[in-house]
Amino acid sequence: MKDNPLKKLELLGQSIWLDYIRRDLFSSGKLRKLIEDDGLTGMTSNPSIFEKAIAESNIYDQDIRDIALKKKDVKEIYETLSQRDVQSAADEFRSVYDKTDGIDGYVSLEVNPHLAHDTKGTIEEAHRLWAALNRPNVLIKVPATYDGLHAIQQLISEGINVNVTLLFGLPRYRQVAEAYIAGLETRAAQGKPLKHIASVASFFVSRIDALVDSLLEKLIAQGGQKTDLAKIVHGQVAISSAKMAYQIYNEIFGSDRFKKLADKGARVQRLLWASTSTKNPDYSDVKYIESLIGLDTINTVPPETIDAYRNHGNPKSSIEKDVKEASWIMERLPELGISVDMVTQQLEDEGVRKFNEPFDKLMEALTKKSSRVMKERMMEVPAAFIYKVKENIPTKGRSSFSLNRQCTARTNWTANH
C-alpha cells in the first residue's frame, strides 16, 4: 500500500481539517479513523453544512422530537443540536489538541450568520456560544466583515478563540491580522496569559476563481487586445491571491511588533485555506490543495476532496513558489477592467447571503419537524388513560358521549404533558 499523501502534508507544515460535520461521523467511528489513518487534525462547520446534515437527513429526528416536546423554539433546537455535535467532535480531537499543545485539534462553530454586520450582537453571541460549548479546543467563527473586525479584536482580548471566516481580499486580511494582534496587545497590557489563545484566518479560495473566471471568459469570447492576457490570467487569480496573502502573513507575523507578543507566549494566527473544493470540472480536483502547501497553514476540505487527495495527491511545498508570477497576475487585473476590491466585496456579500439562506432554510425545516411532533403529540393519549375514561361512561348513548369524553380527555392530557 502506498504512503498516504494526506499524512505527508504534516511534514510540510500543513494541517488538514475536515469541512464537514454530521453526527454519524462520531457514532460510526469514521472520524476517529480519519484522525488515525489520514492525520486529520481539525474540523470546520458552517450554516450550510448544518442545514444539509440536520434538514436533509433523519439522523436528528428523535432529538428534534425530544427537544420540541420540552417546548423549545426552533433556534434553541438548532443550537442544542449543533452544540452537541461540536462538543462531540471537540472531544474526538482533544487528543490531537493535547499532543500538539494547543496548536491543532480544533472544531469551529459559527455565530448566527444574520449577525455578520452587527458587532455588538456578534460579541454577545460569541460569549454565549463559548460558555455553552465549554471546550478549550473550539473556535467561534466570526465573519471578516468590516463590522466583524472590532468583534474579533474584542473576543481575542478576552481569551476567546476565533476562526475569522468569509475572508476574500488582501486589504481585509491585513485588517484581520491587525485585529488579532491588537487583541493580544490589549490582553498582554492587562497582564493576562497569551499562550493558549488560538485564531485562524479563513481565506476563501475557489469562489474567487468562480467569479473572476466568468468575467475573463466574457473578455475571451469578445476577442480583441485583452484576449491573450485574459487567457493567461484565467484560472490563476485565486491561487495568486492566496500566495500574496501568505506573503502578508510572513511580513506581519515576522515583525518586531509580533515578536514582543511571541516572547510572551502568543501564537501566530494561521492562514486557513477555505472553499478548496474545485468548482470548475476542467480543473484538477486537488488544485486548491496542491498549490497552497506551506508552513503554518491549514487546508479545510470536504470529504470528497479528502478522498481525491488520498488517492492521487502529490504533496510538495508550493505556497512560496512563483510568488513573482502571482504578484504579476494580480497587477494585471485592472488592465482587464477587473477591480479586485469590487470582486472581493461582491464575494463577501454573496458569502453572507449564502450562509443566511441555508440557515433560514434550516429554521423552516426545524419548524415543520417540530410542528409535526407537536401534532403527533396531540394525538397521543395513553391507552390506559382512555380505558379509564371509557369505563365510567354509561352504556346508553355511549357512542357520541364516548367520543366527546375522549376528545376532552385528549385535550386535557396533552395540555398537561
Catalytic residue list contains 141: yes
In one letter, which amino acid is 369? K
For the chain, the straight-line distance linking the first and the last C-alpha, in angstroms and rounded, comes to 58
Contact residues for 84 (Cβ-Cβ < 8 A; gap 6+): 23, 63
In 3D space, the residue among 79, 77, 72 whose CA is nearest the CA of residue 45 turns out to be 79
What CA–CA distance (Å, rounded) separates 82 from 350? 24
The helix/strand/coil state of 106 is strand
| CA trace torsion 335, 341, 345, 346 (10° rounding) | 0
Are the CB atoms for 317 and 293 separated by under 8 Å? yes
H-helix segments, 223-339? 227-233, 237-253, 256-262, 287-290, 303-312, 323-332
Q: Which of 72, 99, 120, 141 is catalytic?
A: 141
Taking the CA of residue 345 as centre, how many other CA atoms within 13 Å lie in the half-sphere pointing to its CB?
6
Taking the CA of residue 58 as centre, how many other CA atoms within 13 Å lie in the half-sphere pointing to its CB?
0
Q: Which whole-number Å values give the CA distances from 93 to 47, 88, 144, 163, 238, in the listed order?
A: 21, 9, 26, 17, 30
Total count of residues recorded for the chain: 417
The CA R_g of the chain, rounded to the nearest whole Å, is 26
Active-site residues: which are they?
141
